Structure 1
Protein backbone atom coordinates (compact mmCIF):
# COMPACT_ATOMS: atom_id res chain seq x y z
CA UNK A 1 0.00 0.00 0.00
CA UNK A 2 1.37 3.41 -0.95
CA UNK A 3 1.67 6.06 1.73
CA UNK A 4 -0.68 8.93 0.95
CA UNK A 5 1.06 12.29 0.71
CA UNK A 6 -0.32 14.81 3.18
CA UNK A 7 1.19 18.14 4.30
CA UNK A 8 2.09 16.63 7.68
CA UNK A 9 4.16 13.99 5.85
CA UNK A 10 6.03 16.54 3.74
CA UNK A 11 9.73 15.87 4.36
CA UNK A 12 12.27 18.68 4.11
CA UNK A 13 15.93 17.73 4.32
CA UNK A 14 18.36 20.53 5.21
CA UNK A 15 22.06 19.84 4.69
CA UNK A 16 25.06 21.77 5.96
CA UNK A 17 28.00 21.15 3.61
CA UNK A 18 31.58 22.05 4.45
CA UNK A 19 34.71 21.42 6.47
CA UNK A 20 34.42 22.97 9.93
CA UNK A 21 38.22 23.02 10.31
CA UNK A 22 38.69 25.45 7.42
CA UNK A 23 37.45 28.99 8.23
CA UNK A 24 34.71 30.01 5.74
CA UNK A 25 34.45 26.50 4.30
CA UNK A 26 32.41 25.95 7.49
CA UNK A 27 29.71 28.41 6.39
CA UNK A 28 27.31 25.60 5.45
CA UNK A 29 27.46 23.67 8.72
CA UNK A 30 27.39 26.89 10.79
CA UNK A 31 24.33 28.19 8.92
CA UNK A 32 22.63 24.82 9.38
CA UNK A 33 23.34 24.91 13.13
CA UNK A 34 21.76 28.37 13.43
CA UNK A 35 18.80 27.31 11.28
CA UNK A 36 18.17 24.18 13.36
CA UNK A 37 18.58 26.04 16.68
CA UNK A 38 16.03 28.67 15.67
CA UNK A 39 13.63 26.71 13.45
CA UNK A 40 14.26 23.00 14.00
CA UNK A 41 10.62 22.53 14.99
CA UNK A 42 9.32 22.97 11.43
CA UNK A 43 7.14 19.88 10.86
CA UNK A 44 8.86 17.22 8.74
CA UNK A 45 12.28 18.93 8.89
CA UNK A 46 15.48 16.91 9.22
CA UNK A 47 18.81 18.73 9.57
CA UNK A 48 22.10 17.00 8.80
CA UNK A 49 25.64 18.34 9.00
CA UNK A 50 27.16 16.30 6.16
CA UNK A 51 30.69 17.64 6.23
CA UNK A 52 32.33 17.33 2.83
CA UNK A 53 29.68 14.98 1.46
CA UNK A 54 29.53 11.26 0.77
CA UNK A 55 27.83 9.12 -1.83
CA UNK A 56 25.98 7.40 1.03
CA UNK A 57 23.75 10.50 1.18
CA UNK A 58 22.07 9.66 -2.15
CA UNK A 59 19.39 7.52 -0.50
CA UNK A 60 18.70 10.13 2.18
CA UNK A 61 18.34 12.86 -0.44
CA UNK A 62 16.09 10.62 -2.53
CA UNK A 63 13.74 10.04 0.41
CA UNK A 64 13.11 13.78 0.86
CA UNK A 65 10.32 15.78 -0.76
CA UNK A 66 12.36 18.96 -0.58
CA UNK A 67 16.03 19.77 -0.13
CA UNK A 68 17.74 22.83 1.30
CA UNK A 69 21.54 22.96 1.06
CA UNK A 70 23.66 25.46 3.00
CA UNK A 71 27.14 25.79 1.51
CA UNK A 72 30.01 28.18 0.90
CA UNK A 73 29.70 29.07 -2.78
CA UNK A 74 31.73 31.18 -5.16
CA UNK A 75 29.39 33.71 -6.75
CA UNK A 76 32.19 36.21 -7.43
CA UNK A 77 30.47 38.73 -5.18
CA UNK A 78 31.40 40.43 -1.92
CA UNK A 79 32.36 38.10 0.94
CA UNK A 80 29.33 37.25 3.03
CA UNK A 81 26.86 37.65 0.17
CA UNK A 82 23.97 35.21 0.59
CA UNK A 83 22.16 33.96 -2.50
CA UNK A 84 19.19 31.60 -2.69
CA UNK A 85 18.97 29.51 -5.85
CA UNK A 86 15.99 27.23 -6.39
CA UNK A 87 15.08 24.42 -8.75
CA UNK A 88 16.54 24.79 -12.26
CA UNK A 89 18.60 27.81 -11.19
CA UNK A 90 20.23 25.71 -8.45
CA UNK A 91 20.77 22.82 -10.87
CA UNK A 92 22.49 25.08 -13.42
CA UNK A 93 24.76 26.58 -10.77
CA UNK A 94 25.68 23.15 -9.37
CA UNK A 95 26.46 21.88 -12.88
CA UNK A 96 28.62 24.92 -13.65
CA UNK A 97 31.26 23.65 -11.25
CA UNK A 98 31.21 26.97 -9.39
CA UNK A 99 29.23 25.72 -6.44
CA UNK A 100 31.65 24.71 -3.86
CA UNK A 101 35.04 25.54 -2.51
CA UNK A 102 35.60 21.90 -1.52
CA UNK A 103 36.39 18.95 -3.76
CA UNK A 104 33.53 16.45 -3.35
CA UNK A 105 30.55 17.74 -5.28
CA UNK A 106 26.87 18.08 -4.60
CA UNK A 107 26.49 17.77 -8.38
CA UNK A 108 27.31 14.06 -8.28
CA UNK A 109 24.78 13.38 -5.52
CA UNK A 110 22.03 15.28 -7.30
CA UNK A 111 22.85 13.52 -10.57
CA UNK A 112 22.56 10.14 -8.82
CA UNK A 113 19.15 11.14 -7.44
CA UNK A 114 18.10 12.40 -10.88
CA UNK A 115 19.16 9.14 -12.57
CA UNK A 116 17.19 7.03 -10.11
CA UNK A 117 14.14 9.29 -10.32
CA UNK A 118 14.56 10.34 -6.68
CA UNK A 119 15.56 14.00 -7.08
CA UNK A 120 13.44 16.07 -4.69
CA UNK A 121 11.16 18.26 -6.81
CA UNK A 122 11.77 21.24 -4.53
CA UNK A 123 15.43 22.18 -4.08
CA UNK A 124 17.23 25.26 -2.86
CA UNK A 125 20.84 26.21 -2.35
CA UNK A 126 21.56 28.83 0.28
CA UNK A 127 25.05 29.85 -0.77
CA UNK A 128 27.35 32.11 1.21
CA UNK A 129 30.31 33.78 -0.54
CA UNK A 130 33.48 32.94 1.42
CA UNK A 131 36.09 35.51 2.36
CA UNK A 132 38.94 33.20 3.25
CA UNK A 133 39.59 29.49 3.15
CA UNK A 134 42.39 28.20 5.35
CA UNK A 135 42.97 26.30 8.53
CA UNK A 136 40.97 27.78 11.38
CA UNK A 137 37.88 27.27 13.47
CA UNK A 138 36.34 30.74 13.12
CA UNK A 139 34.34 32.19 10.25
CA UNK A 140 35.62 35.48 8.82
CA UNK A 141 33.70 38.56 9.98
CA UNK A 142 31.66 39.02 6.75
CA UNK A 143 30.64 35.37 6.63
CA UNK A 144 29.74 35.27 10.34
CA UNK A 145 27.63 38.40 9.82
CA UNK A 146 25.81 36.64 6.94
CA UNK A 147 24.44 33.80 9.09
CA UNK A 148 21.11 35.53 9.94
CA UNK A 149 20.46 36.25 6.24
CA UNK A 150 21.21 32.63 5.32
CA UNK A 151 18.83 31.36 8.01
CA UNK A 152 16.11 33.81 6.94
CA UNK A 153 16.41 32.67 3.31
CA UNK A 154 16.00 29.02 4.31
CA UNK A 155 13.05 29.75 6.60
CA UNK A 156 11.27 31.63 3.82
CA UNK A 157 11.78 28.71 1.42
CA UNK A 158 10.66 26.06 3.92
CA UNK A 159 7.53 28.00 4.90
CA UNK A 160 6.59 28.67 1.28
CA UNK A 161 7.04 25.02 0.33
CA UNK A 162 4.90 23.87 3.28
CA UNK A 163 2.19 26.38 2.35
CA UNK A 164 2.24 25.12 -1.24
CA UNK A 165 1.85 21.54 0.00
CA UNK A 166 -1.06 22.54 2.23
CA UNK A 167 -2.74 24.33 -0.70
CA UNK A 168 -2.48 21.13 -2.76
CA UNK A 169 -4.03 18.97 -0.04
Structure 2
Protein backbone atom coordinates (compact mmCIF):
# COMPACT_ATOMS: atom_id res chain seq x y z
CA UNK A 1 0.00 0.00 0.00
CA UNK A 2 1.01 3.56 -0.60
CA UNK A 3 2.32 5.25 2.53
CA UNK A 4 1.54 8.94 2.75
CA UNK A 5 1.55 11.30 5.69
CA UNK A 6 -1.19 13.83 6.44
CA UNK A 7 -0.80 16.70 6.77
CA UNK A 8 2.49 17.56 5.08
CA UNK A 9 3.81 20.93 6.22
CA UNK A 10 7.05 22.85 6.20
CA UNK A 11 7.29 22.60 9.98
CA UNK A 12 9.79 20.13 11.37
CA UNK A 13 7.87 17.71 13.64
CA UNK A 14 11.10 16.93 15.49
CA UNK A 15 11.81 20.57 16.31
CA UNK A 16 11.76 21.84 19.87
CA UNK A 17 8.24 22.33 21.15
CA UNK A 18 6.72 19.61 18.99
CA UNK A 19 5.52 16.25 20.25
CA UNK A 20 5.30 14.12 17.10
CA UNK A 21 2.18 11.99 16.94
CA UNK A 22 1.88 9.17 14.42
CA UNK A 23 -1.44 7.48 13.65
CA UNK A 24 -0.70 4.23 11.86
CA UNK A 25 -3.09 1.89 10.11
CA UNK A 26 -1.62 -1.50 9.24
CA UNK A 27 -3.07 -4.42 7.31
CA UNK A 28 -4.12 -5.30 3.77
CA UNK A 29 -7.11 -3.66 2.09
CA UNK A 30 -7.41 -6.51 -0.40
CA UNK A 31 -8.30 -9.16 2.18
CA UNK A 32 -11.65 -8.04 3.59
CA UNK A 33 -11.39 -7.28 7.33
CA UNK A 34 -7.57 -7.14 7.13
CA UNK A 35 -8.14 -3.60 5.89
CA UNK A 36 -9.68 -2.41 9.16
CA UNK A 37 -6.65 -0.45 10.34
CA UNK A 38 -6.18 1.40 7.09
CA UNK A 39 -9.88 2.23 6.85
CA UNK A 40 -9.71 3.77 10.31
CA UNK A 41 -6.85 6.07 9.36
CA UNK A 42 -8.54 6.88 6.05
CA UNK A 43 -11.73 7.91 7.86
CA UNK A 44 -9.78 10.10 10.29
CA UNK A 45 -8.11 11.89 7.37
CA UNK A 46 -11.44 12.47 5.63
CA UNK A 47 -13.30 13.70 8.71
CA UNK A 48 -10.69 15.60 10.71
CA UNK A 49 -7.82 18.02 10.40
CA UNK A 50 -5.04 17.83 12.99
CA UNK A 51 -2.19 19.87 14.39
CA UNK A 52 0.94 20.15 12.26
CA UNK A 53 2.88 17.60 14.28
CA UNK A 54 0.39 14.78 13.55
CA UNK A 55 0.96 12.24 10.79
CA UNK A 56 -1.65 9.81 9.46
CA UNK A 57 0.03 6.85 7.77
CA UNK A 58 -1.22 3.98 5.63
CA UNK A 59 1.31 1.41 6.80
CA UNK A 60 -0.06 -1.42 4.68
CA UNK A 61 2.07 -4.52 5.15
CA UNK A 62 5.41 -2.72 4.86
CA UNK A 63 6.94 -4.11 8.04
CA UNK A 64 10.46 -2.79 8.62
CA UNK A 65 9.90 0.13 6.26
CA UNK A 66 7.74 1.63 9.01
CA UNK A 67 10.63 1.81 11.47
CA UNK A 68 11.35 5.50 10.96
CA UNK A 69 7.73 6.41 11.75
CA UNK A 70 7.94 4.58 15.07
CA UNK A 71 11.36 6.01 15.88
CA UNK A 72 10.19 9.55 15.17
CA UNK A 73 6.99 9.37 17.22
CA UNK A 74 6.51 10.54 20.77
CA UNK A 75 2.99 9.09 20.78
CA UNK A 76 1.95 6.24 18.48
CA UNK A 77 -1.65 5.23 17.81
CA UNK A 78 -2.11 1.96 15.89
CA UNK A 79 -5.27 0.59 14.28
CA UNK A 80 -5.24 -3.04 13.20
CA UNK A 81 -7.33 -6.19 12.77
CA UNK A 82 -6.35 -8.55 15.57
CA UNK A 83 -7.45 -12.13 16.18
CA UNK A 84 -8.39 -12.06 19.86
CA UNK A 85 -10.57 -15.16 19.56
CA UNK A 86 -13.60 -12.97 20.35
CA UNK A 87 -16.89 -12.36 18.49
CA UNK A 88 -16.41 -10.50 15.16
CA UNK A 89 -16.32 -6.75 15.55
CA UNK A 90 -15.16 -6.84 19.18
CA UNK A 91 -12.68 -4.06 19.97
CA UNK A 92 -9.81 -4.36 22.41
CA UNK A 93 -7.31 -1.69 23.45
CA UNK A 94 -3.71 -2.57 24.31
CA UNK A 95 -1.32 0.03 25.72
CA UNK A 96 2.40 0.76 25.95
CA UNK A 97 4.63 -2.21 26.89
CA UNK A 98 1.84 -4.71 26.28
CA UNK A 99 1.60 -3.86 22.56
CA UNK A 100 4.76 -5.65 21.28
CA UNK A 101 4.14 -8.52 23.70
CA UNK A 102 0.60 -8.96 22.46
CA UNK A 103 1.55 -8.84 18.78
CA UNK A 104 4.19 -11.47 19.45
CA UNK A 105 1.82 -13.78 21.27
CA UNK A 106 -1.16 -13.58 18.92
CA UNK A 107 -0.05 -13.41 15.30
CA UNK A 108 -2.80 -13.32 12.71
CA UNK A 109 -0.73 -12.65 9.61
CA UNK A 110 2.79 -11.90 8.44
CA UNK A 111 2.32 -8.14 8.74
CA UNK A 112 1.95 -8.47 12.50
CA UNK A 113 5.20 -10.43 12.73
CA UNK A 114 6.92 -7.67 10.77
CA UNK A 115 5.48 -4.90 12.89
CA UNK A 116 6.46 -6.63 16.10
CA UNK A 117 10.03 -6.54 14.78
CA UNK A 118 9.65 -2.83 14.04
CA UNK A 119 8.70 -2.13 17.65
CA UNK A 120 11.56 -4.28 18.94
CA UNK A 121 14.11 -2.51 16.73
CA UNK A 122 12.85 0.89 17.83
CA UNK A 123 13.35 -0.16 21.45
CA UNK A 124 16.88 -1.41 20.69
CA UNK A 125 17.85 1.86 19.02
CA UNK A 126 16.61 3.88 21.97
CA UNK A 127 14.07 5.74 19.85
CA UNK A 128 10.74 4.44 21.06
CA UNK A 129 7.47 6.33 21.64
CA UNK A 130 6.61 7.44 25.16
CA UNK A 131 3.04 6.24 24.60
CA UNK A 132 1.75 3.46 22.35
CA UNK A 133 -1.93 2.63 21.95
CA UNK A 134 -3.22 -0.26 19.83
CA UNK A 135 -6.92 -0.30 18.92
CA UNK A 136 -7.60 -3.75 17.52
CA UNK A 137 -10.74 -5.27 16.05
CA UNK A 138 -11.64 -8.95 15.83
CA UNK A 139 -12.10 -9.75 12.12
CA UNK A 140 -15.02 -11.71 10.69
CA UNK A 141 -13.66 -12.61 7.25
CA UNK A 142 -10.09 -12.73 5.95
CA UNK A 143 -10.36 -15.07 2.96
CA UNK A 144 -12.25 -12.80 0.54
CA UNK A 145 -9.63 -11.46 -1.87
CA UNK A 146 -10.84 -8.14 -3.23
CA UNK A 147 -13.48 -7.99 -0.53
CA UNK A 148 -14.23 -5.22 1.91
CA UNK A 149 -15.07 -4.88 5.59
CA UNK A 150 -17.86 -7.09 6.84
CA UNK A 151 -20.81 -5.41 8.55
CA UNK A 152 -19.71 -6.29 12.09
CA UNK A 153 -16.26 -4.81 11.54
CA UNK A 154 -17.55 -1.76 9.71
CA UNK A 155 -19.86 -0.99 12.63
CA UNK A 156 -16.95 -1.36 15.04
CA UNK A 157 -14.96 1.19 13.04
CA UNK A 158 -16.99 4.07 14.49
CA UNK A 159 -16.29 3.02 18.07
CA UNK A 160 -12.62 2.51 17.19
CA UNK A 161 -12.44 6.05 15.85
CA UNK A 162 -14.00 7.38 19.04
CA UNK A 163 -11.38 5.58 21.13
CA UNK A 164 -8.58 6.86 18.92
CA UNK A 165 -9.87 10.43 18.91
CA UNK A 166 -10.01 10.50 22.70
CA UNK A 167 -6.37 9.46 22.89
CA UNK A 168 -5.40 12.00 20.24
CA UNK A 169 -7.13 14.79 22.15
CA UNK A 170 -5.33 13.78 25.33
CA UNK A 171 -2.02 13.83 23.45
CA UNK A 172 -2.58 17.31 21.99
CA UNK A 173 -3.36 16.35 18.40
CA UNK A 174 -6.12 18.98 18.22
CA UNK A 175 -8.59 17.11 15.97
CA UNK A 176 -10.98 19.50 14.20
CA UNK A 177 -13.94 18.24 12.13
CA UNK A 178 -13.70 18.99 8.45
CA UNK A 179 -16.70 20.78 6.96
CA UNK A 180 -18.13 21.38 3.51
CA UNK A 181 -15.73 20.78 0.66
CA UNK A 182 -13.00 19.77 3.11
CA UNK A 183 -15.01 16.75 4.19
CA UNK A 184 -15.32 15.55 0.58
CA UNK A 185 -11.62 15.93 -0.19
CA UNK A 186 -9.19 13.07 -0.69
CA UNK A 187 -7.95 11.98 2.73
CA UNK A 188 -4.39 11.79 1.39
CA UNK A 189 -3.93 8.50 3.26
CA UNK A 190 -5.07 5.91 0.72
CA UNK A 191 -4.88 6.14 -3.04
CA UNK A 192 -8.11 7.49 -4.59
CA UNK A 193 -8.65 4.18 -6.41
CA UNK A 194 -8.60 2.34 -3.05
CA UNK A 195 -10.87 4.73 -1.12
CA UNK A 196 -13.65 2.76 0.56
CA UNK A 197 -16.67 3.88 -1.50
CA UNK A 198 -14.89 3.56 -4.82
CA UNK A 199 -13.27 0.26 -3.85
CA UNK A 200 -16.64 -1.23 -2.95
CA UNK A 201 -18.59 0.43 -5.77
CA UNK A 202 -16.28 -0.76 -8.53
CA UNK A 203 -15.95 -4.33 -7.31
CA UNK A 204 -16.91 -6.72 -10.13
CA UNK A 205 -19.43 -9.50 -9.70
CA UNK A 206 -18.30 -12.85 -8.36
CA UNK A 207 -18.66 -14.34 -11.84
CA UNK A 208 -16.62 -11.62 -13.54
CA UNK A 209 -13.90 -11.78 -10.90
CA UNK A 210 -13.79 -15.61 -10.82
CA UNK A 211 -14.12 -15.57 -7.06
CA UNK A 212 -16.12 -18.80 -7.04
CA UNK A 213 -13.93 -20.92 -9.30
CA UNK A 214 -14.65 -23.24 -12.20
CA UNK A 215 -17.52 -25.57 -11.27
CA UNK A 216 -16.00 -28.28 -13.50
CA UNK A 217 -13.09 -28.60 -11.09
CA UNK A 218 -14.12 -26.89 -7.84
CA UNK A 219 -17.46 -28.02 -6.38
CA UNK A 220 -19.66 -25.14 -5.23
CA UNK A 221 -19.85 -24.71 -1.48
CA UNK A 222 -23.07 -26.01 0.01
Instruction: Give, in whole Å, the separation in 1 of the partners of 2:153 and 2:116.
Output: 24
The equivalences for 1:44-59 within 5 A come to: 44-59=53-68
Give SS of 2:117's match.
helix
Shift, 1:3, TM fit: 4.5
Instruction: Give, in whole Å, the separation in 2 of the partners of 1:26 and 1:89.
Output: 23
TM-score (ref. length: structure 1): 0.85
Shift, 1:94, TM fit: 2.0
Shift, 1:102, TM fit: 2.1
> Residue 89 of structure 1 aligns with which residue?
98
Instruction: Give, in whole Å, the separation in 2 of the partners of 1:42 and 1:131.
Output: 34
Distance 1:44 1:22, change over 3 A: same
> Residue 139 of structure 1 aligns with which residue?
149
Contact 1:17 1:28 survives alignment (8 Å): yes
Unaligned runs of 5+ in 1: 164-169
1:116 maps to 2:125: yes
Larger radius of gyration: 2
Unaligned runs of 5+ in 2: 1-13, 174-222
Bigger drift between 70-79 and 132-141 goes to 132-141
Give SS of 2:89's match.
coil
Runs of 4+ off more than 3 Å: none
Aligned positions, number: 157
Q: Deviations over 1:62-112 (max 9, x none)?
A: 01111111100011111011112111232321231x15x321321100001
Shift, 1:17, TM fit: 0.5
1:13 maps to 2:22: yes
2:167 corresponds, among 144, 148, 157, to 157
TM-score (ref. length: structure 2): 0.66
Instruction: Give, in whole Å, the separation in 1 of the partners of 2:90 and 2:36.
Output: 11
